Structure 1
Amino acid sequence: MTPWEALAVFAAGIGAGTINTIVGSGTLLTFPVLLAVGLPPVTANVSNALGLVPGSLSGAIGYRRELTGQRGRLIRLGAAAALGGLVGAILLIVLPGSAFDAVVPALIVLALVLVVLQPRLAKAVAARRTGDAHPDAGPLLMAGIFATGIYGGYFGAAQGVLMLALMGMLLDEDLQRINATKNVLALLVNGVAAIFFLFVAHFDWTAVLLIAAGSVLGGQIGARVGRRLPPVALRGIIVVVGLVAVVKLLLD
């Protein structure tokens, strides 16, 4: 990896840490950059998953005030998220690499659609919360978080958007507190998947360290300053980078 490539990976880590803390989908910044510097898709995915764990922890710490009083909820939803993350990580290793290569463009497109639709999801969330939302985690939300964890353990882009939508519709809670919960759940999914990958997958440790360093910084930016950034600009960056990744994967 050249110095300029290393700088690009580090910068992508900062952007991913910031975006993951705010809403999720930071993988759509780091994953394409790792592909661009020459990493194979599966190696890029597992290296990205491990590298983003410190950033998820940084973002969760940045939102610690909003986590007050959510211990029981975090235990229940965290168990579902962690189990889903492990299942997704196992699927990534068990399924052939060709399956990952084939499905990733579709997953990226799905993630981009979710990112673009996020404002509408937020409005739907606000409208739904006036009616049937619950004060705590019910079976439907537990199942949804488990399924999202599987997706996150397998690939992970925009899992935060899915979690925010699910919890926003099914919990009677302030969105900032929901976002804090999302950061912890994403940390658990990424952390469990990364620990599993440590024993069975090949990492590019330079990429891991660069993303980790950048995402820790980005997590603090996201918690302190990121809420003030124009959402349209963030979504625009994500969509452009994601489309570049899709084109690159389809042309390779």
Structure 2
Amino acid sequence: MIWWHAVLIALAGVWAGMINTVVGSGTLVTFPVLVAFGYPPVTATTSNAIGLAPGTISGAIGYRHELRGQLRRLLTLGPASLVGAVGGTVLLLSLPHDAFETVVPVLVGLAVVLVIIQPRVSSWVLARRESRERRTGTEAGNGKGTAVLLVTAVFLVGIYGGYFTAAQGVMLMAFMGMLLDEPIQRLNGIKNVLAAVVNVVAGTVYAFVAPISWPVVGLLAGGSIVGGALGAVIGRRLPPTALRMVIVVIGLAAIVQLVLRQL
């Protein structure tokens, strides 16, 4: 590995760890970097899953104060993420690599769209919740049907995250924002824990049965731990707009690069 490749991969790991903690979609930073340096898309994805897992853990720890009183909810949603992640890894490992290389530009595009529309989704959810509360005169509750819907959504996002991790955090925030009556920072804490579950499960499976670049894993792991800790500290202060713009630009560049690889 060329030394400046190693430096850029480590820096991408720091940036991705911070973005994953604050917004989500850090894979849209590291994945294009690895592909640009010549790593096959499947290897880039599996190495990402392992390398960014420590960063998601450090980010979740950084949000431990927002997680107080959420143990029962995490014990309900965590297994859904775990089982979904296993299903996603099975899909990645069982489907032909050509199929992954064909679908991954679509997945990156979906991730970019989710990053773009996340603020509008959040605003819509907040307005809808406030309108419901005004009509009923009470705070909106979370019934049994809502709980089942949320567990199902978390399970499906887990499958997606086990197959391709980009924007799973954005998906989780969107679903939880629509279905849970919690402040955004508490939702972010829950999101970090669930994303950590998916990354750890997927990374553990990939470590034994998938093509991995261990030097890349080491660089991403070190960088993402630092980034995750930084993201937890400054996440409440940074406007997400700047981070979102960077993600969108890098994601679009990744789509172009992946499409050109197939021509």
Q: Quickly name the TM-score band, shorter chain normalised.
A: over 0.9
Unpaired stretches in structure 1, ≥5 consecutive residues? none
Is 1:157 aligned to 2:148, yes or no? no
1:185 aligned residue: 194
Deviation at 1:133, TM superposition (A): 4.9
Match of 1:238 among 236, 241, 247: 247
Superposed CA RMSD:
1.3
Structure 2 unpaired stretches of 5+: 133-139
Do the aligned partners of 2:23 and 2:169 also contact (CA within 8 Å) in 1?
yes
TM (norm. structure 1) is 0.97
Q: Which residue of 1 aligns with 2:216?
A: 207
Residues 151 and 159, structure 1, Cα contact 8 Å, conserved in 2: yes
C-alpha distance in structure 1 between counterparts of 2:110 and 2:128, whole Å = 23
Aligned equivalent of 2:117? 117
- Counterpart contact for 1:52–1:211, Cα < 8 Å: yes
Q: What CA distance in whole angstroms lies between the structure 2 residues aligned with 1:247 and 1:9?
A: 20
| Structure 2 match to 1:8 | 8
SS of 1:66's equivalent? coil
Structure 1 residue 89: Cα displacement: 0.6
* Residue 167, structure 1, aligned to residue 176, structure 2: yes
Q: Is the 8 A contact 1:135 1:172 kept in 2?
A: no
> Does the 8 A contact of 2:45 with 2:164 survive in 1?
yes
- Alpha-carbon distance in 1 for matches of 2:143, 2:173: 15
1:58-207 aligned within 5 A = 58-130=58-130, 131=132, 132-134=140-142, 138-207=147-216
1:151 partner amino acid: Y
How many Å apart are 1:166 and its aligned residue? 0.5
Q: Alpha carbons of 1:2 and 1:133: their partners in 2 closer, same or farther (altered >3 Å)?
A: farther
Deviation at 1:182, TM superposition (A): 0.3
**Secondary structure of the residue that 1:134 maps to in structure 2?**
coil
Q: Is the 8 A contact 1:17 1:56 kept in 2?
A: yes
Structure 1 residue 135: Cα displacement: 7.3
